[in-house]
Amino acid sequence: MYRRKTQQRSFPGPEDVLRQTLPNGITLLVRENFDSPAVVMSGYVQAGAEDTPPDVAGLAGFATDVMQRGTQQRSFEQLYEEVESIGASFGVSGSTHITSFGAKGLAEYLPLLLDILNDVLRHPAWRPEQVEKARAEILTALQEREHDTAQMSSLVFHELVYPEAHPYHWSGLGYPETIGRLTATDLEQFHTRHFAPQGMVLVVIGAVKAETAVQEVTSALGDWQGSRPARAPLPPAPPLTERRERRITIPDKTQSNLILGWPGPERLHPDFIPCFVANTILGVFGMYGRLGQSVRVQNGLAYYVYSSLDGGIGPGPWDVVAGVNPANVDRVIELVLAELRRFRDTLVPAAELEDIKSYLTGSLPLQLETNEGVARALLNIERYHLGLDYLQRYRDMIMAITASQVREAARRWLDPEHFALAVVNPEAPADADHGG
């Protein structure tokens, strides 16, 4: 009928992705794309909340906020005058295991963006007035979180699922008391100790020749030396052995938010891919999978319900999230548990599994359509050591998954009797507190 006109371009792989590790330990991945005049640069350094104890929760994020508020060479105003006057974007953000950075601009500005990245990562200024501004912004965000049902349900859920010794128990944004007492010296010491080129990954995608990108990255960051202390392995996140539930209330709201879930498999766990397929069936495919069909379509009980599988470096959550009328919370929980039991008891029918595989493999071209999408995929590949040919192998890997693998994975990870449940209600119903 009609044919695609582009020359068949295969998924990014060893043929068209340049991967090189600089002598100082920075791994660089570059893919050329001259379809648009822009370039995207993103990556991470190995510094995060994991590196700090709970009594300074929020330190890593606070430090990255201040880092991008001025360097020894550039005041806050100079930094953003350079970025904004060329219509570029630039940002750094801290999370549990890494500090991510990203920038986008017209390709001619890549050297400038790299210079700014180098300056921010290596030479932040820690000016007291900028520390205080960043602190006020975080305290406002924490104030908003106290009254945000979705954020509070996530906070409570993490407290229920992970023991206090685990970094996932604690909020990356911190708490008013920890943010309130951190000093500029704390931030600077965190930076000095943990920011290093060792283990840093940088991806450049866009209208720049690969060899030019290598030269420019080397010129900006090649002389950075140093290493960071080795990390201890993450403490265990034991499987839940009870139904662990907490319901809290926030005044003056109308909708309830609930999260029900478990610690999930890490990305490199052998169960991850079967669990990923299972999660797609449960709460992603079509308009949010089987859960969407049951809760939203058949029973009209929620505006949204979906499931998500974190699958990162550690045992991030596998959870079901819903926004519902307070009167329907318990019915929704029962429907969710019924779907989980069905999942464990019955093999996924062959036709349904074929649909899911077709979706997972067919959606790849859309995910890789933009520079940002390719950058995300390559960062993922590098972070989890999946191999440069991963996207080319992906189809075969998904197609090989069987219904019994999916069921076995679900049986190991989705326990309908033992789970954590966080509910944030608008106001206290009679049976508000089930303990926790």
Q: Which of residues 57-116 bind other proteins (CB under 8 A)?
A: 76-77, 80-81, 83-91, 104-106
* Mask for 6-45, x = binds other proteins (CB under 8 A): x-x--------------------------xxxx-------
Whole-angstrom distance, CA of residue 94 vs CA of residue 98: 6
Region near other proteins per CB under 8 A, out of 143-151, 153-161, 191-199, 342-350: 143-151
* Mask for 177-216, x = binds other proteins (CB under 8 A): ----------------------------------------
- Write down the residue that tokens 């999946």 correspond to: 386
Decide: helix, strand or coil at residue 425.
strand
Closest distance to other proteins from the beta carbon of 90 (Å): 7
Residue 68 CB neighbours (<10 A): 22
Contact 204, 12 (CB under 8 A): no
Closest distance to other proteins from the beta carbon of 346 (Å): 19
Q: Which of residues 286, 345, 404, 428 is near other proteins by CB under 8 A? A: 286
Residue 329 CB neighbours (<10 A): 22
Q: What is the DSSP string of 185-248?
A: HHHHHHHHHH--STT-EEEEEESS-HHHHHHHHHHHHTT-----PPPPPPPP-PPP-S-EEEEE
User: Per rule CB under 8 A, is residue 396 in the interface with other proteins?
Assistant: no
Token pair listed for 204: 């450049």
Cα torsion through 99, 230, 315, 66, rounded to 10: -20
* Smaller CB separation from other proteins, 82 or 216: 82
Q: Which of residues 21, 72, 128, 144 is near other proteins by CB under 8 A? A: 144
User: Per rule CB under 8 A, is residue 230 in the interface with other proteins?
Assistant: no
Q: Which of residues 55, 146, 211, 417 is near other proteins by CB under 8 A? A: 146
Closest distance to other proteins from the beta carbon of 266 (Å): 26
* Smaller CB separation from other proteins, 80 or 272: 80
* Smaller CB separation from other proteins, 196 or 335: 335
Residue 425 CB neighbours (<10 A): 20
Q: Which of residues 285, 306, 343, 413 is near other proteins by CB under 8 A? A: 285
- Of 48, 56, 69, the C-alpha closest to 182 is 56
